Structure 1
Amino acid sequence: MTVHARGWGAAAAALVLLLSACGGGPDPDEFTGARLDQPYPAPTIELTDTEGAPYSLAEDTDKPMTVVFFGYTHCPDICPLVMNNIGAALNRLDDEEREQVDMVFVTTDPARDDAATLRDYLDGYGEGFIGLTGDLEDIVAAGDPLHLYVSDGKKLPSGGYDLGGHSTFVLGIDENDEAVVVWNQETSAPELATDIQILLGE
Protein backbone atom coordinates (compact mmCIF):
# COMPACT_ATOMS: atom_id res chain seq x y z
CA MET A 1 0.00 0.00 0.00
CA THR A 2 1.36 3.50 -0.84
CA VAL A 3 1.77 6.29 1.69
CA HIS A 4 -0.90 8.22 -0.20
CA ALA A 5 -3.34 5.32 0.06
CA ARG A 6 -2.64 4.92 3.77
CA GLY A 7 -3.21 8.62 4.28
CA TRP A 8 -6.51 8.49 2.40
CA GLY A 9 -7.63 5.50 4.47
CA ALA A 10 -6.81 7.33 7.68
CA ALA A 11 -8.73 10.39 6.50
CA ALA A 12 -11.73 8.26 5.61
CA ALA A 13 -11.66 6.59 9.02
CA ALA A 14 -11.48 9.99 10.70
CA LEU A 15 -14.47 11.16 8.65
CA VAL A 16 -16.50 8.13 9.79
CA LEU A 17 -15.63 8.88 13.41
CA LEU A 18 -16.55 12.53 12.93
CA LEU A 19 -19.90 11.66 11.41
CA SER A 20 -20.61 9.22 14.24
CA ALA A 21 -19.76 11.86 16.82
CA CYS A 22 -22.07 14.33 15.09
CA GLY A 23 -24.97 11.87 15.09
CA GLY A 24 -24.43 10.76 11.49
CA GLY A 25 -24.86 7.15 10.49
CA PRO A 26 -26.17 4.87 7.80
CA ASP A 27 -28.44 6.23 5.13
CA PRO A 28 -32.02 5.90 6.49
CA ASP A 29 -33.06 4.57 3.08
CA GLU A 30 -30.43 1.82 3.13
CA PHE A 31 -31.85 -1.71 3.10
CA THR A 32 -30.40 -3.90 5.86
CA GLY A 33 -32.04 -7.29 5.31
CA ALA A 34 -31.10 -9.87 2.68
CA ARG A 35 -33.48 -9.82 -0.28
CA LEU A 36 -34.10 -13.27 -1.71
CA ASP A 37 -33.54 -13.51 -5.45
CA GLN A 38 -35.38 -16.82 -5.31
CA PRO A 39 -38.10 -16.32 -2.69
CA TYR A 40 -39.03 -19.19 -0.41
CA PRO A 41 -42.60 -20.48 -0.76
CA ALA A 42 -44.68 -20.13 2.39
CA PRO A 43 -45.64 -23.53 3.82
CA THR A 44 -49.22 -24.72 3.30
CA ILE A 45 -49.22 -26.79 6.51
CA GLU A 46 -52.02 -25.74 8.85
CA LEU A 47 -51.00 -24.90 12.40
CA THR A 48 -53.31 -23.55 15.13
CA ASP A 49 -53.58 -19.97 16.35
CA THR A 50 -54.26 -18.89 19.93
CA GLU A 51 -58.00 -18.79 19.25
CA GLY A 52 -57.93 -22.45 18.24
CA ALA A 53 -58.44 -21.70 14.54
CA PRO A 54 -56.36 -23.24 11.75
CA TYR A 55 -53.73 -20.94 10.29
CA SER A 56 -51.46 -21.49 7.29
CA LEU A 57 -48.52 -19.26 6.45
CA ALA A 58 -49.46 -19.70 2.80
CA GLU A 59 -53.23 -19.26 2.95
CA ASP A 60 -53.68 -16.76 5.78
CA THR A 61 -50.90 -14.22 5.22
CA ASP A 62 -52.85 -11.81 3.05
CA LYS A 63 -51.33 -8.49 4.09
CA PRO A 64 -48.56 -6.85 2.06
CA MET A 65 -46.03 -7.95 4.70
CA THR A 66 -46.08 -10.66 7.37
CA VAL A 67 -43.10 -10.76 9.71
CA VAL A 68 -42.45 -14.36 10.83
CA PHE A 69 -40.28 -15.66 13.66
CA PHE A 70 -39.93 -19.21 15.00
CA GLY A 71 -39.06 -19.32 18.71
CA TYR A 72 -40.35 -20.33 22.11
CA THR A 73 -41.55 -18.56 25.23
CA HIS A 74 -38.99 -20.15 27.57
CA CYS A 75 -36.07 -19.02 25.41
CA PRO A 76 -33.70 -17.17 27.76
CA ASP A 77 -31.80 -14.91 25.39
CA ILE A 78 -32.16 -14.66 21.59
CA CYS A 79 -35.96 -14.87 21.32
CA PRO A 80 -36.65 -11.97 23.72
CA LEU A 81 -34.03 -9.86 21.92
CA VAL A 82 -35.54 -10.53 18.51
CA MET A 83 -39.12 -10.09 19.70
CA ASN A 84 -38.27 -6.80 21.42
CA ASN A 85 -36.77 -5.52 18.18
CA ILE A 86 -39.78 -6.64 16.15
CA GLY A 87 -42.19 -5.00 18.58
CA ALA A 88 -40.19 -1.77 18.64
CA ALA A 89 -39.89 -1.76 14.84
CA LEU A 90 -43.63 -2.10 14.35
CA ASN A 91 -44.20 0.72 16.84
CA ARG A 92 -42.13 2.96 14.57
CA LEU A 93 -44.59 2.52 11.70
CA ASP A 94 -47.42 4.98 11.24
CA ASP A 95 -51.02 3.74 11.52
CA GLU A 96 -51.42 3.20 7.78
CA GLU A 97 -48.19 1.23 7.53
CA ARG A 98 -48.97 -0.82 10.64
CA GLU A 99 -52.31 -1.88 9.13
CA GLN A 100 -50.39 -3.50 6.29
CA VAL A 101 -48.20 -5.69 8.49
CA ASP A 102 -48.90 -8.84 10.49
CA MET A 103 -46.52 -10.46 12.95
CA VAL A 104 -46.60 -14.26 13.33
CA PHE A 105 -44.72 -16.12 16.05
CA VAL A 106 -44.47 -19.90 15.58
CA THR A 107 -43.53 -21.81 18.72
CA THR A 108 -40.81 -24.43 18.49
CA ASP A 109 -41.82 -25.77 21.92
CA PRO A 110 -45.48 -26.82 21.58
CA ALA A 111 -45.29 -29.08 24.62
CA ARG A 112 -45.06 -26.02 26.87
CA ASP A 113 -46.40 -23.22 24.66
CA ASP A 114 -50.14 -23.74 24.74
CA ALA A 115 -52.57 -21.10 23.47
CA ALA A 116 -52.82 -19.22 26.77
CA THR A 117 -49.04 -19.17 27.26
CA LEU A 118 -48.46 -17.91 23.73
CA ARG A 119 -51.13 -15.23 24.02
CA ASP A 120 -49.75 -13.88 27.28
CA TYR A 121 -46.20 -13.90 25.90
CA LEU A 122 -47.03 -12.14 22.64
CA ASP A 123 -49.22 -9.50 24.27
CA GLY A 124 -46.12 -8.38 26.12
CA TYR A 125 -44.43 -7.45 22.84
CA GLY A 126 -47.16 -5.92 20.74
CA GLU A 127 -50.81 -5.70 19.90
CA GLY A 128 -52.35 -8.14 17.47
CA PHE A 129 -49.39 -10.51 17.22
CA ILE A 130 -50.43 -13.94 15.96
CA GLY A 131 -49.21 -17.02 17.81
CA LEU A 132 -49.13 -20.47 16.24
CA THR A 133 -48.68 -23.91 17.73
CA GLY A 134 -49.31 -27.49 16.62
CA ASP A 135 -47.68 -30.90 16.54
CA LEU A 136 -43.90 -30.58 16.65
CA GLU A 137 -43.61 -32.60 13.45
CA ASP A 138 -45.84 -30.09 11.65
CA ILE A 139 -43.85 -27.15 13.01
CA VAL A 140 -40.60 -28.74 11.81
CA ALA A 141 -42.21 -29.28 8.40
CA ALA A 142 -43.49 -25.69 8.28
CA GLY A 143 -39.99 -24.38 8.84
CA ASP A 144 -38.46 -26.52 6.10
CA PRO A 145 -39.54 -24.57 2.94
CA LEU A 146 -38.55 -21.36 4.72
CA HIS A 147 -35.05 -22.77 5.31
CA LEU A 148 -35.62 -22.46 9.05
CA TYR A 149 -34.12 -25.20 11.19
CA VAL A 150 -36.36 -26.47 13.96
CA SER A 151 -35.01 -29.30 16.11
CA ASP A 152 -37.41 -32.17 16.51
CA GLY A 153 -35.96 -32.46 19.98
CA LYS A 154 -35.64 -35.44 22.27
CA LYS A 155 -38.75 -36.56 24.08
CA LEU A 156 -38.37 -36.47 27.85
CA PRO A 157 -40.03 -38.77 30.40
CA SER A 158 -42.15 -35.78 31.46
CA GLY A 159 -43.71 -35.72 27.99
CA GLY A 160 -41.91 -32.55 26.93
CA TYR A 161 -38.93 -32.14 24.63
CA ASP A 162 -35.28 -31.32 25.10
CA LEU A 163 -34.98 -28.78 22.31
CA GLY A 164 -31.79 -28.84 20.29
CA GLY A 165 -32.29 -25.33 18.96
CA HIS A 166 -33.85 -23.40 16.11
CA SER A 167 -32.91 -20.82 13.51
CA THR A 168 -33.05 -17.24 14.69
CA PHE A 169 -33.75 -15.55 11.37
CA VAL A 170 -36.79 -13.33 10.85
CA LEU A 171 -38.60 -13.65 7.54
CA GLY A 172 -40.84 -11.30 5.61
CA ILE A 173 -43.64 -12.98 3.63
CA ASP A 174 -45.39 -10.85 1.03
CA GLU A 175 -48.98 -10.95 -0.24
CA ASN A 176 -47.93 -13.48 -2.89
CA ASP A 177 -47.21 -16.03 -0.15
CA GLU A 178 -43.47 -15.87 -0.65
CA ALA A 179 -40.69 -15.07 1.79
CA VAL A 180 -38.85 -12.27 0.02
CA VAL A 181 -36.48 -11.05 2.73
CA VAL A 182 -34.48 -12.46 5.65
CA TRP A 183 -33.24 -10.52 8.65
CA ASN A 184 -30.66 -11.85 11.09
CA GLN A 185 -30.98 -11.76 14.86
CA GLU A 186 -28.80 -8.66 15.11
CA THR A 187 -31.07 -6.45 12.99
CA SER A 188 -32.04 -3.46 15.11
CA ALA A 189 -35.54 -2.05 15.47
CA PRO A 190 -34.76 1.07 13.39
CA GLU A 191 -33.21 -1.07 10.64
CA LEU A 192 -36.16 -3.45 10.59
CA ALA A 193 -38.67 -0.59 10.54
CA THR A 194 -36.86 1.12 7.66
CA ASP A 195 -36.77 -2.12 5.66
CA ILE A 196 -40.49 -2.72 6.17
CA GLN A 197 -41.27 0.83 5.07
CA ILE A 198 -39.16 0.36 1.94
CA LEU A 199 -40.92 -2.92 1.12
CA LEU A 200 -44.36 -1.42 1.66
CA GLY A 201 -43.47 1.48 -0.64
CA GLU A 202 -42.42 -0.72 -3.54
Structure 2
Amino acid sequence: MATSCNCVAAAMRSLRPAAAMRLPLRSPPCRTFTSFHHSNLQRSSRTIWRQESARLSGSQRGTQQVQNLANGLRGQSRPFSSSTPRQKLKTIQQVKARNKGGPFNLTAAVLFIATAGALYAYFTYEKERMARKRIAEQTKGIGKPKVGGPFDLIDHNGNRFTSDDMMGKYALVYFGFSHCPDICPDELDKMALMYDKVVEKCGRVLLPIMITCDPARDTPEVLKEYLKEFHPDIIGLTGPYEKIKDVCKAYRVYFSTPPNVKPGQDYLVDHSIYFYLMDPEGDFVEAIGRNFTADQAAKVISDHIKDWEGPLKKKDRWA
Protein backbone atom coordinates (compact mmCIF):
# COMPACT_ATOMS: atom_id res chain seq x y z
CA MET A 1 0.00 0.00 0.00
CA ALA A 2 2.79 2.36 0.86
CA THR A 3 4.59 1.38 -2.28
CA SER A 4 1.62 2.18 -4.43
CA CYS A 5 1.20 5.63 -2.82
CA ASN A 6 4.82 6.37 -3.41
CA CYS A 7 4.40 5.46 -7.06
CA VAL A 8 1.45 7.76 -7.40
CA ALA A 9 3.30 10.62 -5.74
CA ALA A 10 6.30 10.05 -7.93
CA ALA A 11 4.08 10.04 -11.00
CA MET A 12 2.49 13.31 -9.97
CA ARG A 13 5.87 14.92 -9.43
CA SER A 14 6.96 13.78 -12.82
CA LEU A 15 3.93 15.33 -14.42
CA ARG A 16 4.30 18.80 -12.86
CA PRO A 17 7.55 19.72 -14.61
CA ALA A 18 6.11 18.66 -17.92
CA ALA A 19 3.06 20.87 -17.39
CA ALA A 20 5.28 23.68 -16.29
CA MET A 21 7.34 23.28 -19.41
CA ARG A 22 4.30 23.10 -21.69
CA LEU A 23 2.69 26.25 -20.31
CA PRO A 24 5.58 28.53 -21.16
CA LEU A 25 5.59 27.08 -24.69
CA ARG A 26 1.91 28.07 -25.25
CA SER A 27 1.86 31.46 -23.60
CA PRO A 28 4.83 33.13 -25.37
CA PRO A 29 3.28 32.86 -28.87
CA CYS A 30 0.11 34.47 -27.56
CA ARG A 31 2.01 37.22 -25.83
CA THR A 32 4.20 37.70 -28.93
CA PHE A 33 1.21 38.01 -31.33
CA THR A 34 -0.58 40.44 -29.05
CA SER A 35 2.47 42.59 -28.66
CA PHE A 36 3.14 42.62 -32.44
CA HIS A 37 -0.42 43.55 -33.30
CA HIS A 38 -0.53 46.26 -30.68
CA SER A 39 2.76 47.70 -31.82
CA ASN A 40 1.57 47.78 -35.44
CA LEU A 41 -1.55 49.63 -34.40
CA GLN A 42 0.50 52.10 -32.45
CA ARG A 43 2.82 52.67 -35.40
CA SER A 44 -0.16 53.12 -37.78
CA SER A 45 -1.80 55.57 -35.42
CA ARG A 46 1.40 57.55 -35.08
CA THR A 47 1.79 57.61 -38.88
CA ILE A 48 -1.77 58.78 -39.40
CA TRP A 49 -1.37 61.41 -36.68
CA ARG A 50 1.83 62.71 -38.32
CA GLN A 51 0.09 62.88 -41.73
CA GLU A 52 -2.91 64.67 -40.30
CA SER A 53 -0.63 67.04 -38.42
CA ALA A 54 1.32 67.76 -41.58
CA ARG A 55 -1.90 68.28 -43.55
CA LEU A 56 -3.38 70.56 -40.93
CA SER A 57 -0.15 72.46 -40.68
CA GLY A 58 -0.11 72.85 -44.46
CA SER A 59 -3.73 74.05 -44.47
CA GLN A 60 -3.02 76.50 -41.71
CA ARG A 61 0.06 77.71 -43.51
CA GLY A 62 -1.99 78.01 -46.75
CA THR A 63 -4.72 79.90 -44.94
CA GLN A 64 -2.18 82.18 -43.38
CA GLN A 65 -0.56 82.78 -46.77
CA VAL A 66 -3.96 83.61 -48.32
CA GLN A 67 -4.72 86.02 -45.52
CA ASN A 68 -1.30 87.61 -45.88
CA LEU A 69 -1.81 87.89 -49.66
CA ALA A 70 -5.25 89.41 -49.20
CA ASN A 71 -3.92 91.88 -46.69
CA GLY A 72 -1.12 92.77 -49.05
CA LEU A 73 -3.46 93.25 -52.04
CA ARG A 74 -6.08 95.19 -50.15
CA GLY A 75 -6.57 98.59 -51.77
CA GLN A 76 -4.72 97.54 -54.95
CA SER A 77 -5.96 96.34 -58.36
CA ARG A 78 -6.13 92.69 -59.20
CA PRO A 79 -2.85 91.28 -60.57
CA PHE A 80 -4.59 89.89 -63.68
CA SER A 81 -6.28 93.19 -64.59
CA SER A 82 -4.51 95.54 -66.98
CA SER A 83 -6.71 98.53 -66.12
CA THR A 84 -5.63 101.20 -63.75
CA PRO A 85 -7.39 101.33 -60.41
CA ARG A 86 -10.23 103.81 -60.11
CA GLN A 87 -9.46 106.80 -58.05
CA LYS A 88 -11.98 108.40 -55.79
CA LEU A 89 -13.82 111.14 -57.71
CA LYS A 90 -13.70 114.45 -55.95
CA THR A 91 -14.87 117.03 -58.50
CA ILE A 92 -17.71 117.40 -61.05
CA GLN A 93 -15.15 117.57 -63.85
CA GLN A 94 -13.79 114.18 -62.86
CA VAL A 95 -17.29 112.70 -62.83
CA LYS A 96 -18.03 114.14 -66.27
CA ALA A 97 -14.70 112.94 -67.59
CA ARG A 98 -15.38 109.42 -66.36
CA ASN A 99 -18.96 109.33 -67.65
CA LYS A 100 -18.01 110.81 -70.99
CA GLY A 101 -16.67 107.52 -72.28
CA GLY A 102 -19.31 105.35 -70.60
CA PRO A 103 -22.16 103.53 -72.40
CA PHE A 104 -24.85 105.95 -71.18
CA ASN A 105 -23.59 109.28 -72.41
CA LEU A 106 -25.27 112.12 -74.29
CA THR A 107 -24.48 110.69 -77.73
CA ALA A 108 -25.99 107.33 -76.84
CA ALA A 109 -29.08 109.03 -75.45
CA VAL A 110 -29.55 111.07 -78.64
CA LEU A 111 -29.13 108.00 -80.84
CA PHE A 112 -31.60 106.04 -78.71
CA ILE A 113 -34.21 108.80 -78.91
CA ALA A 114 -33.69 109.23 -82.66
CA THR A 115 -34.03 105.49 -83.27
CA ALA A 116 -37.16 105.27 -81.14
CA GLY A 117 -38.67 108.25 -82.98
CA ALA A 118 -37.87 106.74 -86.37
CA LEU A 119 -39.44 103.42 -85.41
CA TYR A 120 -42.53 105.15 -84.06
CA ALA A 121 -42.92 107.20 -87.23
CA TYR A 122 -42.44 104.13 -89.41
CA PHE A 123 -44.99 101.99 -87.60
CA THR A 124 -47.45 104.90 -87.46
CA TYR A 125 -47.12 105.41 -91.21
CA GLU A 126 -47.57 101.68 -91.85
CA LYS A 127 -50.65 101.62 -89.65
CA GLU A 128 -52.19 104.56 -91.53
CA ARG A 129 -51.26 103.02 -94.88
CA MET A 130 -52.93 99.74 -94.02
CA ALA A 131 -56.03 101.63 -92.87
CA ARG A 132 -56.16 103.52 -96.19
CA LYS A 133 -55.70 100.30 -98.10
CA ARG A 134 -58.50 98.65 -96.15
CA ILE A 135 -60.81 101.60 -96.86
CA ALA A 136 -59.97 101.55 -100.56
CA GLU A 137 -60.60 97.80 -100.81
CA GLN A 138 -63.87 97.96 -98.88
CA THR A 139 -65.32 100.64 -101.15
CA LYS A 140 -64.68 98.67 -104.33
CA GLY A 141 -67.65 96.78 -105.67
CA ILE A 142 -67.54 93.35 -107.27
CA GLY A 143 -68.85 93.57 -110.83
CA LYS A 144 -70.68 96.84 -110.19
CA PRO A 145 -69.05 99.81 -108.43
CA LYS A 146 -70.54 100.90 -105.12
CA VAL A 147 -69.96 104.56 -105.96
CA GLY A 148 -69.36 105.93 -109.43
CA GLY A 149 -69.84 104.48 -112.86
CA PRO A 150 -69.76 105.31 -116.56
CA PHE A 151 -71.12 108.65 -117.79
CA ASP A 152 -71.06 110.78 -120.91
CA LEU A 153 -71.27 114.56 -120.37
CA ILE A 154 -70.01 117.90 -121.76
CA ASP A 155 -67.19 119.93 -120.22
CA HIS A 156 -67.08 123.72 -119.74
CA ASN A 157 -65.34 124.10 -123.13
CA GLY A 158 -68.18 122.35 -124.95
CA ASN A 159 -66.19 119.13 -125.47
CA ARG A 160 -67.36 115.63 -124.75
CA PHE A 161 -66.13 114.25 -121.45
CA THR A 162 -66.71 110.63 -120.39
CA SER A 163 -65.70 108.53 -117.44
CA ASP A 164 -62.91 107.06 -119.59
CA ASP A 165 -61.17 110.46 -119.53
CA MET A 166 -60.65 109.97 -115.80
CA MET A 167 -58.66 106.78 -116.28
CA GLY A 168 -54.99 106.92 -115.44
CA LYS A 169 -55.35 109.70 -112.88
CA TYR A 170 -56.98 110.30 -109.57
CA ALA A 171 -60.14 112.39 -109.78
CA LEU A 172 -61.78 114.59 -107.14
CA VAL A 173 -65.47 114.91 -108.03
CA TYR A 174 -67.79 117.50 -106.49
CA PHE A 175 -71.50 118.07 -107.19
CA GLY A 176 -72.81 121.65 -106.96
CA PHE A 177 -74.27 124.49 -109.03
CA SER A 178 -73.21 127.97 -109.99
CA HIS A 179 -76.12 129.80 -108.31
CA CYS A 180 -75.34 128.40 -104.89
CA PRO A 181 -75.07 131.35 -102.49
CA ASP A 182 -72.51 130.17 -99.93
CA ILE A 183 -71.78 126.43 -99.58
CA CYS A 184 -70.56 125.73 -103.10
CA PRO A 185 -68.19 128.74 -103.22
CA ASP A 186 -66.66 127.67 -99.91
CA GLU A 187 -66.22 124.09 -101.07
CA LEU A 188 -64.75 125.14 -104.41
CA ASP A 189 -62.26 127.38 -102.62
CA LYS A 190 -61.31 124.35 -100.54
CA MET A 191 -61.02 122.24 -103.69
CA ALA A 192 -58.60 124.77 -105.20
CA LEU A 193 -56.41 124.67 -102.08
CA MET A 194 -56.53 120.89 -101.93
CA TYR A 195 -55.60 120.61 -105.58
CA ASP A 196 -52.60 122.94 -105.29
CA LYS A 197 -51.27 121.10 -102.24
CA VAL A 198 -51.62 117.72 -103.95
CA VAL A 199 -49.88 118.99 -107.10
CA GLU A 200 -47.06 120.34 -104.95
CA LYS A 201 -46.54 116.95 -103.30
CA CYS A 202 -47.43 114.47 -106.07
CA GLY A 203 -47.45 116.34 -109.38
CA ARG A 204 -50.29 116.87 -111.82
CA VAL A 205 -51.95 113.49 -111.28
CA LEU A 206 -55.32 114.72 -109.96
CA LEU A 207 -58.36 115.91 -111.92
CA PRO A 208 -60.60 118.40 -110.03
CA ILE A 209 -64.12 117.99 -111.44
CA MET A 210 -67.38 119.75 -110.66
CA ILE A 211 -70.59 118.19 -111.99
CA THR A 212 -73.56 120.51 -111.91
CA CYS A 213 -76.82 119.57 -110.23
CA ASP A 214 -78.60 122.35 -112.11
CA PRO A 215 -78.16 121.63 -115.83
CA ALA A 216 -81.04 123.92 -116.75
CA ARG A 217 -79.00 127.03 -115.84
CA ASP A 218 -75.41 125.71 -115.82
CA THR A 219 -74.49 125.69 -119.46
CA PRO A 220 -70.84 125.17 -120.53
CA GLU A 221 -70.40 128.92 -120.90
CA VAL A 222 -71.81 129.63 -117.43
CA LEU A 223 -69.62 126.97 -115.83
CA LYS A 224 -66.50 128.26 -117.55
CA GLU A 225 -67.08 131.79 -116.33
CA TYR A 226 -67.97 130.61 -112.87
CA LEU A 227 -65.12 128.15 -112.27
CA LYS A 228 -62.29 130.42 -113.43
CA GLU A 229 -62.84 132.46 -110.28
CA PHE A 230 -61.71 129.51 -108.18
CA HIS A 231 -59.05 127.68 -110.20
CA PRO A 232 -58.27 127.42 -113.93
CA ASP A 233 -57.74 123.65 -113.71
CA ILE A 234 -61.19 122.80 -112.33
CA ILE A 235 -63.25 120.97 -114.95
CA GLY A 236 -67.00 121.76 -115.11
CA LEU A 237 -69.37 119.12 -116.48
CA THR A 238 -72.99 119.50 -117.54
CA GLY A 239 -75.45 117.80 -119.87
CA PRO A 240 -79.08 116.85 -120.25
CA TYR A 241 -81.12 116.56 -117.08
CA GLU A 242 -81.58 112.77 -117.36
CA LYS A 243 -77.86 112.17 -117.74
CA ILE A 244 -77.10 114.41 -114.78
CA LYS A 245 -79.70 112.53 -112.78
CA ASP A 246 -78.09 109.17 -113.71
CA VAL A 247 -74.64 110.41 -112.69
CA CYS A 248 -75.93 111.65 -109.35
CA LYS A 249 -77.61 108.31 -108.76
CA ALA A 250 -74.40 106.43 -109.62
CA TYR A 251 -72.41 108.54 -107.13
CA ARG A 252 -75.10 108.24 -104.44
CA VAL A 253 -75.68 112.00 -104.53
CA TYR A 254 -78.96 113.41 -103.40
CA PHE A 255 -80.26 116.51 -105.22
CA SER A 256 -83.65 118.09 -105.82
CA THR A 257 -85.03 121.17 -107.53
CA PRO A 258 -88.32 122.88 -106.76
CA PRO A 259 -91.21 121.74 -108.97
CA ASN A 260 -92.99 124.04 -111.41
CA VAL A 261 -90.14 126.53 -111.79
CA LYS A 262 -90.91 129.22 -114.34
CA PRO A 263 -88.27 130.30 -116.85
CA GLY A 264 -85.97 132.94 -115.42
CA GLN A 265 -87.13 132.33 -111.90
CA ASP A 266 -84.44 132.01 -109.26
CA TYR A 267 -84.36 128.88 -107.12
CA LEU A 268 -82.02 126.81 -104.98
CA VAL A 269 -80.98 123.19 -105.45
CA ASP A 270 -80.64 120.92 -102.45
CA HIS A 271 -77.76 118.44 -102.82
CA SER A 272 -75.22 116.36 -100.95
CA ILE A 273 -71.93 118.03 -100.04
CA TYR A 274 -69.04 115.60 -100.51
CA PHE A 275 -65.82 115.28 -102.47
CA TYR A 276 -65.54 111.85 -104.08
CA LEU A 277 -62.00 110.58 -104.60
CA MET A 278 -61.72 108.13 -107.50
CA ASP A 279 -58.60 106.10 -108.32
CA PRO A 280 -56.97 105.77 -111.78
CA GLU A 281 -59.09 102.69 -112.54
CA GLY A 282 -62.36 104.53 -111.89
CA ASP A 283 -63.00 102.92 -108.50
CA PHE A 284 -64.25 104.91 -105.55
CA VAL A 285 -61.63 105.43 -102.82
CA GLU A 286 -62.99 107.71 -100.13
CA ALA A 287 -65.53 110.47 -99.49
CA ILE A 288 -64.23 113.71 -98.00
CA GLY A 289 -66.80 115.71 -96.08
CA ARG A 290 -67.01 119.26 -94.80
CA ASN A 291 -65.34 118.27 -91.54
CA PHE A 292 -62.02 118.04 -93.39
CA THR A 293 -59.84 121.10 -93.70
CA ALA A 294 -57.98 121.73 -96.93
CA ASP A 295 -54.71 120.52 -95.37
CA GLN A 296 -56.30 117.38 -93.97
CA ALA A 297 -58.04 116.55 -97.23
CA ALA A 298 -54.86 117.18 -99.24
CA LYS A 299 -52.95 114.82 -96.96
CA VAL A 300 -55.58 112.09 -97.39
CA ILE A 301 -55.49 112.45 -101.17
CA SER A 302 -51.69 112.60 -101.32
CA ASP A 303 -51.35 109.51 -99.15
CA HIS A 304 -53.70 107.55 -101.40
CA ILE A 305 -51.77 108.69 -104.46
CA LYS A 306 -48.47 107.62 -102.90
CA ASP A 307 -49.94 104.22 -102.07
CA TRP A 308 -50.88 103.65 -105.71
CA GLU A 309 -48.57 101.09 -107.32
CA GLY A 310 -49.85 101.29 -110.90
CA PRO A 311 -49.00 103.79 -113.64
CA LEU A 312 -50.27 107.38 -113.56
CA LYS A 313 -50.77 109.79 -116.45
CA LYS A 314 -48.66 112.80 -115.62
CA LYS A 315 -49.53 114.73 -118.77
CA ASP A 316 -52.50 117.03 -118.17
CA ARG A 317 -54.69 117.22 -121.26
CA TRP A 318 -56.73 120.03 -119.72
CA ALA A 319 -53.89 122.49 -119.08
Task: Tell me whether the two structures share a fold, i.e. TM-score over 0.5.
Answer: yes
TM normalised by structure 2 equals 0.49
Which residue is 1:127 aligned to?
232
Which residue is 1:176 aligned to?
281
1:38 paired to 2:158: no
| 1:74-117 alpha-carbon deviations (Å, 9 max, x no partner) | 11121111111111111223457241000010011112211121
Give distance in 1, aligned partners of 2:222 and 2:263.
Answer: 18
Which residue is 2:293 aligned to?
188
Which 4+ stretches in 1 moved above 4 angstroms? 28-31, 159-164
Q: 2:158 pairs with 41, 52, 56, which one?
A: 52
Change (3 A) 1:138 1:161: farther
**1:66/1:104 contact within 8 Å kept:** yes
Question: Per-residue deviation at 1:169?
Answer: 0.9
> Aligned AA for 2:194?
A
Equivalent runs, 1:80-95 vs 2, <5 Å? 80-95=185-200
1:61 paired to 2:169: no
Which residue is 2:51 aligned to?
none
SS of aligned partner of 1:187 = coil
| 1:130-163 alpha-carbon deviations (Å, 9 max, x no partner) | 1001112211110112111122542412166845
Which residue is 1:97 aligned to?
202
Change (3 A) 1:117 1:164: closer
* Runs of 5+ unmatched residues, structure 2: 1-123, 141-145, 308-319
Change (3 A) 1:126 1:164: closer
Which has more strand, going by share of residues? 1
Which has more helix, going by share of residues? 2
SS of aligned partner of 2:173 = strand
Which residue is 2:250 aligned to?
145
Q: 1:167 pairs with 272, 295, 300, which one?
A: 272
Of residues 105-114 and 41-50 in structure 1, the stretch that sits farther from structure 2 once superposed is: 41-50
**2:173/2:210 contact within 8 Å kept:** yes
1:200 paired to 2:305: yes
Give distance in 2, aligned partners of 1:62 and 1:193.
Answer: 20
Which residue is 2:212 aligned to?
107
SS of aligned partner of 1:83 = helix
TM normalised by structure 1 equals 0.76
Which residue is 2:60 aligned to?
none
How many aligned residue pairs are there?
174
> Aligned AA for 1:89?
M
| 1:157-182 alpha-carbon deviations (Å, 9 max, x no partner) | 21668454111011001111111110
**Structure with more relative contact order (C-alpha pairs < 8 Å, separation 6 or more):** 1
Give distance in 1, aligned partners of 2:283 and 2:266.
Answer: 30
Q: Give identity over the alignment, percent.
A: 24
Which residue is 1:3 aligned to?
none
Give distance in 2, aligned partners of 1:149 and 1:54.
Answer: 24
> Aligned AA for 2:161?
Y
Give the root-mean-square deviation of aligned CA atoms. 2.6
SS of aligned partner of 2:208 = strand
SS of aligned partner of 1:182 = strand
Which residue is 1:9 aligned to?
none
